[in-house]
Amino acid sequence: HLICLDRTTTGDGIIAALQVLEALCLTGKSLAELVSGMAVFPQMMINVPVEPGFDVDASEKLRDAVTAAERALAGEGRVVLRASGTEPVVRVMVEGRNESVVAGFAEDLAGVVRNAAAASA
């Protein structure tokens, strides 16, 4: 998702596309030139089934695991855990420079979510 916080608080494809077009017009550069310096990191998403109503923010162990993963990524990636708005799953997303590191953190965090969900059931 591309979120333009100065325009909206959620991902909006039309606004994002208009922002890209504006950047193209203002700079006179091609899209290839604009994105040439952008690094694309490997990303892994795991959907963990949970009981409806599971509160992803209620588990201290889960918060601690996310904090530990973020520290280990040291500003070279990100971790996002969120409850789906459409199905009873928690989405665990990790991205960073190293694919095997990303996969390890994603699997570890998914395990912590499973344990927290089982403990709250």
pTM comes to 0.77
Are 106 and 56 part of one and the same domain?
yes
Are 70 and 113 part of one and the same domain?
yes
Cα separation, 115 vs 121, whole angstroms:
10
Query: Total structural domains in the chain?
Result: 2
Q: Which two tokens stand for residue 7?
A: 């325009």
Q: Which two tokens stand for residue 97?
A: 């420079």
Collect all residues with Cβ–Cβ distance below 8 Å to 57 and sequence separation of at least 6: 63
Cα separation, 105 vs 11, whole angstroms:
25
Are 50 and 31 part of one and the same domain?
no
Domain that holds residue 95: 43-120
Tens of pLDDT, residue by residue over 54-76, are 999 888 999 999 999 999 999 89
Dihedral (CA of 55, 61, 62, 67) sign:
positive
Of the pLDDT bands very low, low, confident and very high (cuts 50, 70, 90), residue 25 is: very high
